[in-house]
Chain A
Amino acid sequence: SSELTQDPAVSVALGQTVRITCRGDSLRNYYASWYQQKPGQAPVLVIYGKKGRPSGIPDRFSASRSGNMGSLTITGAQAEDEADYYCNSRDTSGNHVVFGGGTKLTVL
């Protein structure tokens, strides 16, 4: 079982804002990173650290953290944002890396 918990599925209307969450005790001490995976493709890092965004990732993607929960927010979701989203971080020991179970985002 994963030490990071994500909702299995979330939906958002085109152009609206959606938040995808990731919960785990380790997130009190470590920031989550977020990955987008489209069918048949490798994951892509979209957010890391407090608010890092790799080159080429649109600024509609942002992240936040509160207590034991990390969040990925997409402001003005686009059709191309429909994908699976995974969080990861260190575990509570700090020695290992864990992934959340993933959230399937549907853009309506």
Chain B
Amino acid sequence: EVQLVESGEGLVQPGGSLRLSCVASGFTFSNYAMHWVRQSPGKGLEYVSAINSNGDTTYYADSVKDRFTISRDNSMNTLYLQMDTLRPEDMAVYYCTRGNSSILDSWGPGTLVTVSS
């Protein structure tokens, strides 16, 4: 069974940093592109970032470019999202998802990032 479990939930002040992790199991992690999608309270889904299977190609939404960094450790079956210079509008539940192309076939339960002073 495919499992994705995010961690790193927390409260951070504006301008602060936070690192999210996602541990994958039940599939060959190194065969899949991975993604982060977020959802602000009461809002829709927003695509945030992606990384290809071997980690040498990344993508960022304009809203997080130059502030967030996606990475992965295929030996540890783990996906990361380093979030710097956080803003109140970054407050959301962050989901780790698996998928090649735009088809996101497995999702973690999500982890909440709160940005507030």
Q: Which residues of chain A have a CB within 8 Å of any CB of chain B?
A: 2, 30, 33, 35, 37, 41-45, 48-49, 52, 54, 84, 86, 88-90, 95-102
Q: Would A97 and B50 be within 8 Å (CB), given that A42-B95, A45-B105, A54-B105 are in contact?
A: yes
Set of chain A residues within 8 Å of B44, measured between Cβ atoms: 2, 84, 86, 99-102
Residue pair A88, B109 in contact (C-beta under 8 Å): no
Q: Would A42 and B105 be within 8 Å (CB), given that A97-B50, A99-B45 are in contact?
A: no
CB distance from A25 to the nearest CB of B (A): 15
Set of chain B residues within 8 Å of A90, measured between Cβ atoms: 101-102
Q: Bound complex: CA of A37 vs CA of B37, how far in Å?
A: 13
Among residues of A, the one whose C-beta sits closest to the C-beta of B107 is A42
Set of chain B residues within 8 Å of A100, measured between Cβ atoms: 44
Q: Would A43 and B102 be within 8 Å (CB), given that A97-B47, A97-B50, A102-B44 are in contact?
A: no
Q: Would A96 and B59 be within 8 Å (CB), given that A33-B104, A42-B110, A86-B44 are in contact?
A: yes
Q: Would A43 and B107 be within 8 Å (CB), given that A33-B102, A96-B59 are in contact?
A: yes
19 A-B pairs within 8 Å (CB atoms) are namely A33-B102, A35-B104, A37-B45, A41-B109, A42-B107, A42-B110, A45-B103, A45-B106, A48-B105, A88-B47, A88-B104, A90-B101, A95-B59, A96-B59, A97-B35, A97-B102, A99-B44, A99-B47, A101-B44
